[in-house]
Structure 1
Amino acid sequence: MCGLAAFAASPALSHGVHAPSKGAPKPVLVLEGEFVATELNGRPLSRSGDAPKATLVFMPQDGVSGSTGCNRLNGRLVRSGADTTRFGPLALTKMACTGPAGALERQMLVVLRATNQISKFGSEVRLLSANGRVLARLQAISARAETGTSLYGKSWTLVRLNGQALDPQSLRPQVTFESNRISGSTGCNQFSGIHQRAAGKSRFLNMMQTERACLAAIGDPMATEAAFMEALSQVDEISLTTNQMILKSSKSPDVLIFEAGN
């Protein structure tokens, strides 16, 4: 897994959306879901499929994660008084970025440091400077993370991979879900990424993993890892029973079957 570097954002960023009546407290802006940057400092960003994309994922209790277009970021929104909130220190992975991805990352970090207010208009989030200038516009990709107790709070162990039962004595992949994120083990390496839920479909984005070579007395953990990660990248549907989770793709016959608590 790439190392993490602390990134300290600038102080203060405001959250009022509507002008409150005189004497009434201002409403607190509640943000949840994943948003992709469509404009930075007045310049539209490419939305083509191969262009790097900067994203922010707003989670419950003011958690925030996302991508600079190259590196992953994690942190929190810090509120100060009724009008002001800021991006607190953000942890960044430390991949070297060149070309368009590097340029986008530099712009995104400048915007995050300068942000002093946040507003929301329909599906658009705006990051603003202290004087109200629009620094960035972001468009919603998904509204809210999937809710419910059955998916969360459990460690799910893979028991069948593309129709083949996995030996219970082997190093089997495991996953956990928390808010808008997925993390776990391939049975060899650790991985994490974003779980996006929208229009009844689930997708796993910005997946990253460590890069160890693994051997085991039972099974081939490297072959299992490759098949598991490939199948996971195609998933768009999650179905749940009391003790079983099935991940599958509408475009592929690959199916991942997990059981809880193993």
Structure 2
Amino acid sequence: MRMVVVAGLLLALAGCGDESSASGGSLKGKTYLSTAVTEDGQPNELVANTRISLHFTDDGRLIADAGCNSMQSPVKTSGGKLSMDDLAMTGMGCDQPRHAQDDWLSKLLSADPAWKLEGDQLTVSSGGTAISLQDGQTAEPDLALDGTKWILETVITGEVASHSAGAEKVWITFNGERVTGSTDCNELQGPVARDTTKLTFGEIATTRRACAGDAAVLETALLNGLKGNVTYEIDANRLKLRAPSNGLDFTATR
């Protein structure tokens, strides 16, 4: 996936500073999910079905997501500030409201925002904007791959993400070495092997009902995404499947 550098090239980070100074503890190795956003003390609603995610890696990077593209940079956390050398962002196409939300978060993170950690509650603020977040393992523990009904949300082809009408009727479920599901037009099933980060799909069989229009497009996209080796990642109630040239995003309700 192409990376668009927001402010030059990513630089190597030599240490993260004193994370446990006045801001209340270490952020390393943790993911925080937004619970509220305020602008000048007033609630600011995010785009529907999105949530801000901030992941602080063990090697000193911040990986952020506002619902569309992923952005990352080496980060220093000393002095109660999140200081980034350069912020890089993927170039995936999304709808205008989510693009605008990406830009808003990118600008906030690039402004050396203040941070404060109290227990499992993180606050990140800049100017009149404050984002309240909670430790992800408390807010939304990751769902299990097996036994969860994963509903299609986004189809990714190259650098374009699409959200098609009828996708909410397309789903898959994993049970051990089998995957089953529905394209909405046909039922599907097939073998799947796995390790900690990779799924390997065998031949997927479907029923023989003819599909047309959006249903045919979704069926083709789903079956293309369930071929061969793909990486997978579960973040709370979201499942991401990625191959070199395509991908599928799913959500599950608890």
Q: Give runs of aligned pairs for residues 159-238 of structure 1, distance below 5 A.
A: 159-162=177-180, 166=191, 172=192, 174-177=194-197, 186-188=226-228, 190-196=230-236, 203-205=237-239, 207=240, 209-210=242-243, 212=245, 233-234=251-252
Name the % identity: 15
Any gaps of 5 or more consecutive residues in structure 2?
Answer: 9-15, 142-175, 182-188, 201-225
Aligned match of 1:38: 36
**In 2 relative to 1, CA 102–161 (structure 1 residues): closer, same or farther, beyond 3 Å?**
closer
Q: Decide whether the 8 Å contact of 2:6 with 2:89 is kept in 1.
A: yes
Aligned match of 1:108: 105
Deviation at 1:71, TM superposition (A): 0.8
Deviation at 1:88, TM superposition (A): 4.0
Aligned match of 2:55: 57
> 1:143 aligns to what SS in structure 2?
helix
**What one-letter code is carried by the residue in structure 1 that aligns with 2:31?**
G
> 1:161 aligns to what SS in structure 2?
strand
Q: Distance in 2 between matches of 1:143 and 1:137?
A: 18
**In 2 relative to 1, CA 52–83 (structure 1 residues): closer, same or farther, beyond 3 Å?**
closer
Q: Decide whether the 8 Å contact of 2:33 with 2:134 is kept in 1.
A: yes
Q: Distance in 1 between matches of 2:86 and 2:64?
A: 14
Aligned match of 1:4: 3
Q: Give runs of aligned pairs for residues 7-22 of structure 1, distance below 5 A.
A: 7-8=6-7, 18=22
**In 2 relative to 1, CA 234–68 (structure 1 residues): closer, same or farther, beyond 3 Å?**
closer
Q: Give runs of aligned pairs for residues 52-131 of structure 1, distance below 5 A.
A: 52-79=50-77, 85-129=82-126
Deviation at 1:113, TM superposition (A): 0.8
Aligned match of 2:207: none
**What one-letter code is carried by the residue in structure 1 that aligns with 2:26?**
L
Any gaps of 5 or more consecutive residues in structure 1?
Answer: 20-26, 147-157, 167-171, 178-182, 197-202, 214-224, 237-262
Q: Distance in 2 between matches of 1:70 and 1:84?
A: 25
Deviation at 1:52, TM superposition (A): 3.3
> 1:36 aligns to what SS in structure 2?
strand
**In 2 relative to 1, CA 14–85 (structure 1 residues): closer, same or farther, beyond 3 Å?**
farther
RMSD over aligned Cα atoms: 4.4
Are 2:160 and 1:140 equivalent residues in the alignment?
no
How many aligned residue pairs are there? 179
Aligned match of 1:221: none
Q: Decide whether the 8 Å contact of 2:34 with 2:134 is kept in 1.
A: yes
Q: Distance in 2 between matches of 1:90 and 1:208?
A: 25
Deviation at 1:17, TM superposition (A): 5.6
